[in-house]
A = this chain, B = another copy of it.
């Protein structure tokens, strides 16, 4: 693949940005050959700056739910922009969007909006402490809740005090959760849970209903708040909070990424019980009340209510999962496909340093399919049956090439630091 312009941009970037790029979209931890810079996106596809096209299973790491460049949603954004975006007060879209969320998410009696996922997971923590007057937050080991000092997975520049008052449990493990809550004693402010286990580097796990119910019971017994961090998975599993699927209602849920189909906004939703505490804290941001992203979110929620985006991504995800399972078996590879079919993760057996996953993913990339070797992926509603066929053809080539080259693969060392941080 031609990558001349990408290399030129990387060289320029290296001069004016630390390491040339930062954060979750850096390709520093991806196989060689992954492009860093993209020229455009449309539907289910992205084009790199050298004109190579990819079927995109990352969906911007979540924000793309209904297809890139979605006509109705972008029109809603631009329409509000032409009236007023960041103004000296909010537009009526603030109220309309809050009403939309409260109408759609069972546990929600109120909403607050911000920009980053981290903004709203942090707000949940602060509100739980304001509500309870307690300090301890009980969290699942290895779960990602954002990149502020209290939660970023890499601890450079982070102090011990930033991580004070945190107690960890093993996701889905009732005894471990109980032990963590026990350790908090009479100082428990909140239990945080991911909607399912979607940590990097390891198999995904759907939530054990007994664990989710026990988290609810323990919060009720202790007067603490139950927080579901639905930033990554919200509305991808259900048209409600993800834990509605296991019959558990949290007090607070954090949302982001797809709620405006890529336009910048995040949301914290809460139950009546948490309203007073939510009203007692001071949080804000320069662009939090800007109307355009709210108008796009209102338009996105309408599509979520009125289209079969969810059933469609489940259907295509099932086809992809079954197809890959057949291909892997036929090639003699153990490929573990975990998590919801519409948010898949592919990990090879006997592949501790990801050398197989790296090689196979890079082969798919050469065939125009962008997959990730160690982070969960996403399907979007713009994908079609024939896109899954394309992915399966690329995967078949990938398995064949892997079979041929697997003896000569070299160790992948660049993940060591990040993997260590996730332990």
- Counting CB contacts under 8 A, is A416 at the interface? no
In the assembled complex, which residues on chain B have CB atoms less than 8 Å from the CB atom of A152? 281-283
The CA of A95 and the CA of B12, in the complex, are separated in Å by 7
Q: Does A118 contact B (CB under 8 A)?
A: yes
Contact B149 A18 (CB under 8 A): no
Least CB separation from A127: chain B residue: B157
- The answer to whether the Cβ of A36 comes within 8 Å of any Cβ in the partner chain is yes
Say yes or no: B87 contacts A41, CB within 8 Å.
yes
State whether A159 touches B147 (Cβ < 8 A): no
Shortest A176–chain B CB gap in Å is 24
> Is B156 a contact partner of A62 (Cβ separation < 8 A)?
no
Candidates B41, B84, B264, B282; contact of A41 at CB < 8 Å: B84
Partner of A262, one of B62, B78, B278, B290: B290
Bits for A324-355, please: 1 = Cβ < 8 Å to B, else 0: 00000000000000000000000000000000
B68:A84 contact, CB within 8 angstroms: yes
The reply to whether B147 and A283 form a contact with Cβ atoms under 8 Å apart is yes
Q: How far is the CB of A83 from chain B (nearest CB, A)?
A: 4
Asked if A16 and B370 make an inter-chain contact with CB atoms under 8 angstroms apart, the answer reads no
Is there a chain B Cβ closer than 8 Å to A212's Cβ? no
Smallest Cβ-Cβ distance to A161: which chain B residue: B164
Which of A12, A148, A157, A264 neighbours the largest number of chain B CB atoms within 10 Å of its CB?
A157
Chain A count of residues within 8 A CB distance of the other chain: 115
Q: Is B119 a contact partner of A116 (Cβ separation < 8 A)?
A: yes
Stretch from A20-28, A381-389, A406-414 at the B interface:
A20-28
Q: Using known A-B contacts A116-B286, A286-B63, determine if residue A19 contacts B159 with beta carbons closer than 8 Å.
A: no
Give the distance in Å from the alpha carbon of A21 to the alpha carbon of B289 in the complex.
10
Measured between beta carbons, the chain B residues less than 8 angstroms from A78 are 78, 81
> A70 CB to closest chain B CB, in angstroms?
11
Chain B CB within 8 A of A218 CB: no
Q: B38, B95, B263: which contacts A9 (Cβ < 8 A)?
A: B95
CB of A112 within 8 A of CB of B285, answer: no
Contact A147:B115 (CB < 8 A) given known A18-B110, A82-B69, A98-B13: no
Knowing A17-B112, A165-B161, the reply to whether A156 touches B135 (Cβ < 8 A) is no
Does A279 lie within 8 Å of B22, measured CB to CB? yes
Residues of B within 8 A of A149 (CB): 122, 125-126, 150
Task: Give every chain B residue within 8 A of A74 (Cβ-Cβ).
Answer: 81-82
**B256 and A87: CB pair below 8 A?**
no
Nearest CB in chain B: distance from A299 CB, A: 14
Does the CB pair A90–B285 fall under 8 Å?
A: no
A404 within 8 A of B: no
Q: With A25-B88, A89-B38, A263-B85 as given contacts, are A63 and B287 in contact (CB-CB < 8 Å)?
A: yes
A89 vs B41: C-alpha distance when bound (angstroms): 10
- Is A142 among interface residues, defined by CB-CB distance under 8 A? no
CB A153 to nearest CB in B, in angstroms, measures 6
Q: Which residue of B lies closest to A83 (CB)?
A: B40
Q: Which residues of B contact A263 (CB under 8 A)?
A: 85-86, 287
Verify B21–A90 contact, CB threshold 8 A.
yes
Chain B residues within an 8 Å CB radius of A81: 74, 77-78
Give the complex CA separation of A85 and B73 in angstroms.
Answer: 13
Extra contacts besides A115-B285, A116-B116, A256-B286 (17): CB < 8 Å: A16-B99, A17-B98, A18-B279, A22-B278, A23-B283, A37-B89, A38-B89, A58-B88, A85-B262, A85-B263, A114-B116, A116-B119, A126-B149, A148-B148, A152-B281, A264-B290, A264-B293
Which 7 pairs from chain A and chain B are nearest by CB?
Answer: A23-B284, A130-B157, A18-B279, A154-B282, A126-B157, A264-B287, A161-B164
